[in-house]
Structure 1
Amino acid sequence: MRIHHVAIICSDYEKSKHFYVDILGFPIIEETYRKERQSYKLDLQVGESDCAERSAKGDRIELFSFPNPPQRSSTPEACGLRHLAFEVNDIHASVEQLQAKGIEVEEIRVDEITGKKYTFFKDPDNLPLELYQK
């Protein structure tokens, strides 16, 4: 029917929480500390949704922290999940907003199949993230 969520495990919870909430602007649905696992779980709303229905509708990111998570290759061409892409209305404005917050963004490219503009940047753990113009 749709993708329910994307789970991301981070190495520094506070740094990643700041990145996804304060820099990218994703609203918090719920934040939970699981003492038995020494782990945080932060549910973030992606895209537009009625605030009253955030827990039931819309796409979400689940941001997890665990003690000493194993490293994973994070280049876009590595085997496995390639990257996470966010659709934006104005890629130039989105790039400018990220750069104004100190985020390094690659040059904007054009998808040879769709003719749409896109670019990549990275989260605090070097996870490749993409902006894709609507």
Structure 2
Amino acid sequence: MKVVAVCLGCLLVVTGCESTADRVQINAQSLHTDAVDGAVLAGEIVAGRAGPTFARAHAQELQDDTSQIEKNVYDQRLPRYDDLQQLADQIGAALGSIATRPDDTSLAQSARATLLRLAADAARMTP
């Protein structure tokens, strides 16, 4: 039990020491990862390698993560909030379209292109 308490204390100290720029970078990297993962999922749908149940669940998972990142950005009052929020909204919308119609290959193809573009936008937000 003491080990857990010490680990949690260390985590709080490390988290508290992050600079604002580090937090922006971490959130932008997380959005990049969600967009890339969504693009891979969309590619698997187009190729017929992802069933609708899996595709829906995975897209919803990624969309939930994107929503959580957006909340973190707001709660932390990060600089570039508007840019990060807009990016999170767009990634979430593309993932939501996959979750809503996980067996639509033309929609998946369009979402894949969008998510790749958004992943590149997120990558440009990190130094």
TM-score (normalizing by structure 1): 0.22
Larger radius of gyration: 2
More helix by share: 2
The structure, 1 or 2, with the larger RCO (C-alpha pairs under 8 Å, 6+ apart) is 2
| TM-score under structure 2 length normalisation | 0.23
